[in-house]
Structure 1
Amino acid sequence: MSLPQFNIGGLASGLDTAGMISGLMRIERIPITRMQGRQSDYRARLQSWTAITTKVSDFREKVDSLRHPSDFASFVSARSSNEDVATVEITGTPTAASVSVTVQQLAASHQVTAGSGFADGTAAVGAGTFTVTTSAGDTVITTTATTTLDDLARAINDDPDLAVSASVIEVSTGDTRLLLTAENSGADAAFTTSSTVTALNSSNTISQAADAQIRLGDAVNGIVISRPTNTITGVIEGVSLDLKTVSTEPVSFSIERDTDAAKSAIVDLVNAANGVLDEISNQTKYDADNNRASPLTNDSTARDLTLGLRSVLGQTFSNGTSTIRSIGDMGISLGQDGRYTVDETKLADALTSDFDTVMAAFTRDGSSDDTSVQFLSATSDTVDGTYAVTVDGAATSPVLTGSAYTAPTQDETFDITLNSSTLSVTVTAGSTLAQAVDQINAALADTTLEVVEASDVGGALSLAAPTRFGSATTLTVANDGVFGLDGSDTGIDATGTIGGEPATGQGQRLTADSGSPKGLSVRSRYSTADLAGGPQTAQVTINQGLGGRLDAWLDKVEGVGGDIAQAREEWDNRISDLDDQIQAFEGRLVIREAAIRRQFTAMETALSNLQDQSRFLAGLAGGLPTG
């Protein structure tokens, strides 16, 4: 704080008034120092919550990797009996399977040389045309008298629609040729060349395009599978085979559950849980020997986090007749030090002997007693149990059906719109109803409207989006003057209740809005005909599993409005309040210091006046007669 520009500074009194004022102001600032100390304490608490948040986030990652059945389904390993012939790679979530194949043929790319006897790449090829014929048609390149072999190769490579690359190779001195190679392997990638230029008219196939071929079964009754590349998919779902060489001996591929990977994931989850507990313990511990508390000692929120996590991990499972009813049955136990330990041998045995039960214990899953109602998902709000799903309204998809079909006398073009996507289609003059259906479906294929289908409904042309249900889908036809299709139709959402609670429909999906089943979503496949006799009811059972329960605990702890956020907000608010108090107090100190300086200035001025009067009187007294 700056001093006033005018300051007597004890000239009259001889006192160190500046030092005295500074000392007085230090005393006046004691409340600010105390408030700043409290702020430091609060900031330490915020840092403690930041450290805990980091550990909770790590734990969330591990929980999310184990709370769905598909997570456990991904724990598979693949093995080839002869990797010199073929290897295997997991590309999805395959189920356990085994298959033996014989590699009969590898895929090959087509290669052709054209021309011969050119001195080098700068030699002119001559005027005319050079044609490459593929399954897509002819690509014709025109050459002139100045076109060189290099120019021709460049022209071929610059054509974006031609799946053939070209290069210039020197076979021997004075014999340079054009080499063309299909960009893709497989029999369909074969091509031929021809030319009106004599020097290019000769060609030689040096590699014949071929599909890869593997055989399932024996040579007599086996099935031959062909693919255009040496990477074979579709033989085992979620797995690709990479062929290396031809072999007369079968190669076996086995897909097995990888219990080691599952065990590692569970151990990682336990370690992450310990990470949370350790961090909370570190931030709340009390050092009795040195009488020293940690930032969160006696913090009720931190204590509740520990108790809540241990409570979830200590719950039992409903696993029918299985002996695995708790994490202890898998080899996971809570020690006296407050940390969880894993008996990896016992865990491995549980995974090997009863993998499905371990999966059910960890994952959130559901089932239905009716194939027309499918469990989709649940949230951390959903309470374990069995709920009656009553459907009283079927989801529908939009349909437009015209009048009795009459063949158009001229080409008829009209617009089909699905939501915001529009496509114009044409039915040619004189087309039968079957031909009109084929023409419309061909036009819709491989477009944004490929989900729309044309069909014959009672002798009338009909359009529908049979896989798009609900009010979010609208089908519109415009500018049709022949078939009677002009108009618009919107799908209807399913309606019903779950566990007696209202449910929101979105297409075929029904989601409970409140109560114990809140967040439970199912798919209703009941049709309007199924519900003609009245509502239909199915029983859907939801099991949160350990993963679902931990997800619920994490939802309570994390995020905006979570326990940690509320704790942080409390200390943030206290720090902010103290900032306001300190600022206000600093303003009062400025006024207080000014007042103290005025008092000292007045004192010095009074003393100075008294000293002047004393000197004046002393001078008068000195001038008086002494006799």
Structure 2
Amino acid sequence: MPAFTIPGLSSGQDTNLIVKKLVELEAKPIRRLEQQNSFNKAQSKAWNDLKTVTTDLQEKTRALISFTAPFAMKSIVSEPEGIISGDASRSASSGKRRIEIKELATSHQISGEKTDVNKQIPAGKFKIFSGDSEKEIEFSGGTIRDLASSIKVSAAGLVNTGLVKVDGDNYVLTLTATFSGKDRKLKFEDSNGVLQAANLVGATEPADPPKELNFLPEKDQIQIFQPEKYGISSDSKPVFKEESGKKWMEIASVASFQFGIPTTEFKKTQKLNLPLLPNLHRKKK
């Protein structure tokens, strides 16, 4: 049988216990260092968290106290992102708002009646309007396929075209507004009858007539311009006239006046009308 020993039997000392105690004693400095290291890590994390919070606060307060603050626009951010976009006025209060969408906006779509694929559509020009945007297409003539291709290329970004076969050699041409909403409704100017020949439903619906903005300055707003250059009196004035509800002013061919026009935003479909007497040589500033 193998020999075995009992610690402390001969010496009377429990050597195993003594060794255990010595190991624990020597390990105490290491454990203290481990505890200190854990504390340092926790402290470092706390400082980093504080730095992140204070940096965020600094960035937000900078927008309030910087010299650009009076001119900065506030943005609208939706969640999920992209549902709503826009800018808020500088006086708008920051905060969260809940918006309920009751009906989704759709894109305006116009479909024509079925048309023989071999039917020859005459050449001509026509315009397509959607909101404030417009595209003029010059069609060289051809079939409904040629017309669809011409619109697809010339009106890209404004409308999407579709050509669907319904039966035999008959096709239906469909135009869909690229942007949604009732303000983007499709309208047409088809003076040559190209779209009518293609049996496009609604092709005869005209675009809104151009809006006219009349700027007739008041008498006290007009000043003589460089009278010494044109040899006219410094107290010369244009002649204001009115007939049948229309007002205009007449300027002599040797006269020159200056007047201001109020700042106004113009759109493509608006027309500026300055009611001066035509067929007169005049200099305006």
TM-score interval for Structure 1 and Structure 2 normalised by the shorter chain: 0.3 to 0.5
TM-score by length of 2: 0.40
TM-score by length of 1: 0.21
| Between structures 1 and 2, the one with greater strand share | 1
| Between structures 1 and 2, the one with greater helix share | 1
